Structure 1
Amino acid sequence: MFLAWRHCAEDYAMKLCPTLHQNLKRRMSRDGSQIGVASCFAEGPAPELVDSAFSMEVNDGALLYSGMSLADLAHAVMLIEIGIVPQESRVELLNALIEMHNLSAEEIDFDNALVDVYTNRDHMLHQRTPDTAGWIQAGRPRREVSTLAYLIVTRAELLEVVKAVSVLMDTLLDFSEEHQSTLLPDYTYLQRAHPTTLAHYVLTFVQPMGRDLDRLQSAYNRTNKSPAGAGSTNGSRLPIDRERLAKLLGFNG
């Protein structure tokens, strides 16, 4: 657990379940080492690990940062609405998240030693608001943030492909309309068989693109489902509002 989350989690866990409270105390009693998190390691990661596996994880920073930012903002808003984040922490937490969301790519300096994009963002948030940053972890595992970011990026890329295919179809349809009377031979087995038009020939490429759009729509519909609030496996003991998270992030269910 993150150090900034200690008091928040202990207070809530004490009220929710004494057993959970004792487990949290045992997990939080150890000082964090590498990045300020509880750890059973005495030393930080080896340079070889930082320069290989961690570097590969951080390389996704430019791709995932915005999606993770949206996921954090939605989660913070939902936590505030259901009363998990205390009144005195709300404005500071949201302001820090909005500031991070508005950073340009040139202003973000990812550190390979911090393992991945998620932990880099967590470190940035703790730098801006150490006393309230821990609340963003309430009722949510780290893998959920990454999954949401990938889905948000994939969803956006699918729409870009749909847009490109649609533009190409429109261009070919305009071209075909101009060449309805442009004659040319049709071939079978490299032999001239029937007369046709250039418009007719070009339209043979447009029709399969329509099928492609159907497939893209199907892929988009399956992608546009929210895992937010599901947890790693079995959800959360907190009263997470999954429908609200899906709506805030633009997911259809």
Structure 2
Amino acid sequence: MKLWAGRFQKETDNVVNDFNSSIQFDGRLYREDITGSIAHATMLGRQGIIEEHEAEKIVAGLKEILYDIENNDLDVFNPEYEDIHMNIEVALTQRIGDTGKRLHTARSRNDQVALDMRLYVKKEICEIMQLAIDFEKVLVEKAKENLDTVMPGYTHLQRAQPTTFGHYMMAYAQMLRRDISRLEDCFERMDELPLGSGALASTTYPIDREFVRDQLGFARVTENSLDGVSDRDYCIELMSCLSMMMMHMSRLSEEVISWCSWEWRFAELDDAYSTGSSIMPQKKNPDVCELIRGKTGRVYGDLMTLMTTMKALPLAYNKDMQEDKECVFDAIDTVKQCLEVFAPMFRTMTLRKKNMRKAASQGFINATDCADYLVKKGVPFRDAYMIVGRLVNTCIRADETLETMTLKDFASISNKFGPDVYDALDLKTCVEGRSVIGGPAPKEVTRQINKIETFLADSEEQLAEMRTRLRT
């Protein structure tokens, strides 16, 4: 019999049972559900809402159920009971009798599921933050190893100006820094206890929400019971954070795919993180990067699913909100899986530094430096720009580079050029000269690295503090 069957005179149709049931995906919340119920039962006993011995019996029964589930001695995932909450309650009542029926006093499944989701999301934010921190450490490691590895920087996928691989890595490190910061912010904003909101209008029982808040490690209690049961902003905010993180991983994946192509040959993935072809024996495919690029759209879809679900829902709880779980779980699982494989793949990637340098010596990426050379000789920048443009055009016709032009060739276009132009055009000079804050000069990139390492140390301290608030 359904736990809510008193109002009904007919059994629910099996098709409706299957359609209505969420146990196939919310079963993963069993630990959060039991943890919340233990805190709730303890509070009921302390407040005299149920007898102390009844509360103790309920808590003991819940702990046994948790132990049995985690040791595969109990299967509580029965679709007949709809969701994880009712499955746990049925299992408890079967074990301890009618005392188990007292657990749901002063509580609704509405605030119960809101609690479970918040406990789950808090835990998963911590896990994703750790993976992101670990990945950022890989980027820092690569940057340190490649402070002087000159490569072309691009705009419009055209070779533009010289930079270094270390500088390139720190650009992605900045993206991950923002991702980690957003996760911290999301955690802080959603760290509120909804239990006690009831179905929508709280309860007439003298419950102690602050006690439960402390037991479950929340920073605050929700201020409004209607909002407490209907809020899924934190899920949407999390998936927005994850979507941006996936976007950053997708952009870097696209870079790696290009770098590993025969046309670029800037990098080669380790065999352990590559795949081959069933018909072309020469192939070594960056499938990991391609899958991450593809899975980014999947996480975007999860975000849009929940935003669309929530866009027209009246207060308070509506069954539509059951749809939050599958998209939240999928986004979390996908991001974790991508981070877990991306970090070691990137760490073991081999760089073809000579090819990077060769590419940097072509495409006139030191043309801006040539113009700056003239400016330092007193030529207005716009005039210098035109002069260098003529130089580049001359080089293209003669199949030369700026470095291979003779001084006579330079002088034929402007008398401002002297022998020192070759030092100004040297790629090492071009990179080291860009020493302003944010630039690719090795000394400046080292400063960027130090700042990111300080951020990572602070983030790990913050993460440790966040983990102290977890009770599951």
TM norm. shorter chain > 0.5 = yes
Q: CA deviation at 1:190?
A: 4.0
Q: CA deviation at 1:69?
A: 0.6
Residue type matched to 2:153 in 1?
A: D
Structure of greater Rg: 2
Residue 55 of structure 2 corresponds to residue 90 of structure 1: yes
- Of 102, 105, 111, 2:67 maps to 102
Give CA deviations for 1:43-64 in whole Å, capped at 9, x if unaligned.
321122223322xx11124322
- Of 7, 10, 14, 1:47 maps to 14
1:14 is aligned to: none
1:65 is aligned to: 30
Residue 100 of structure 2 corresponds to residue 159 of structure 1: no
Residue 79 of structure 2 corresponds to residue 79 of structure 1: no
2:217 is aligned to: 250
Give CA deviations for 1:198-227 in whole Å, capped at 9, x if unaligned.
100111111011111121112112222111
TM-score by length of 2: 0.44
Residue 192 of structure 2 corresponds to residue 232 of structure 1: no
- Whole-Å separation in 1 of the counterparts to 2:190 and 2:83: 23
CA contact 2:76–2:91 (8 Å) conserved in 1: no
Say what the alpha-carbon RMSD is for the aligned residues.
1.8
- Give the percent of matched residue pairs that are identical in Structure 1 and Structure 2: 27
TM-score by length of 1: 0.79
Runs of 4+ in 1 over 6 A off after TM superposition: none
Residue type matched to 2:101 in 1?
A: G
Q: CA deviation at 1:41?
A: 1.9
- Of 139, 143, 161, 1:194 maps to 161
- Whole-Å separation in 1 of the counterparts to 2:26 and 2:168: 45
- Whole-Å separation in 2 of the counterparts to 1:116 and 1:192: 56
CA contact 1:61–1:110 (8 Å) conserved in 2: no
- Whole-Å separation in 1 of the counterparts to 2:99 and 2:40: 14
- Whole-Å separation in 2 of the counterparts to 1:111 and 1:249: 27
CA contact 1:229–1:245 (8 Å) conserved in 2: no
- Whole-Å separation in 2 of the counterparts to 1:84 and 1:116: 26
- Whole-Å separation in 2 of the counterparts to 1:93 and 1:120: 15
Q: CA deviation at 1:172?
A: 0.6
1:146 is aligned to: 113
Gaps of 5+ in 1: 1-33
Give CA deviations for 1:85-115 in whole Å, capped at 9, x if unaligned.
2133233222101111222353223221222
2:91 is aligned to: 124
Single out whichever of 160-169 and 38-47 deviates more from structure 2. Answer: 38-47
- Whole-Å separation in 1 of the counterparts to 2:105 and 2:3: 17
- Whole-Å separation in 1 of the counterparts to 2:37 and 2:54: 15
- Whole-Å separation in 1 of the counterparts to 2:14 and 2:5: 21
- Of 207, 211, 236, 2:174 maps to 207
SS in 2 for 1:45: coil
CA contact 2:44–2:55 (8 Å) conserved in 1: no
Give CA deviations for 1:154-195 in whole Å, capped at 9, x if unaligned.
111111221111111111101111111212222334443332
Aligned residues between the structures: 218
- Whole-Å separation in 1 of the counterparts to 2:171 and 2:53: 64
- Whole-Å separation in 2 of the counterparts to 1:130 and 1:80: 17
Residue type matched to 1:64 in 2?
A: L
- Of 163, 172, 175, 2:139 maps to 172
Single out whichever of 150-159 and 184-193 deviates more from structure 2. Answer: 184-193
Single out whichever of 218-227 and 83-92 deviates more from structure 2. Answer: 83-92
Residue type matched to 2:171 in 1?
A: T
- Whole-Å separation in 1 of the counterparts to 2:182 and 2:121: 15
Residue type matched to 1:59 in 2?
A: Q
- Whole-Å separation in 1 of the counterparts to 2:92 and 2:129: 35
CA contact 1:35–1:123 (8 Å) conserved in 2: no
- Whole-Å separation in 1 of the counterparts to 2:18 and 2:159: 62
1:27 is aligned to: none
Q: 1:131 to 1:171 in 2, by over 3 A?
A: same
SS in 1 for 2:192: coil
Q: 1:230 to 1:109 in 2, by over 3 A?
A: closer
CA contact 2:111–2:198 (8 Å) conserved in 1: yes
CA contact 1:64–1:117 (8 Å) conserved in 2: yes
- Whole-Å separation in 1 of the counterparts to 2:48 and 2:93: 21
SS in 2 for 1:66: helix
- Whole-Å separation in 2 of the counterparts to 1:126 and 1:190: 65
SS in 1 for 2:103: helix
SS in 1 for 2:151: strand
- Whole-Å separation in 1 of the counterparts to 2:194 and 2:56: 26
CA contact 2:44–2:50 (8 Å) conserved in 1: yes
Give CA deviations for 1:2-38 in whole Å, capped at 9, x if unaligned.
xxxxxxxxxxxxxxxxxxxxxxxxxxxxxxxx23555
Say which structure, 1 or 2, has more relative contact order (CA 8 Å, 6+ apart).
1
SS in 1 for 2:97: coil
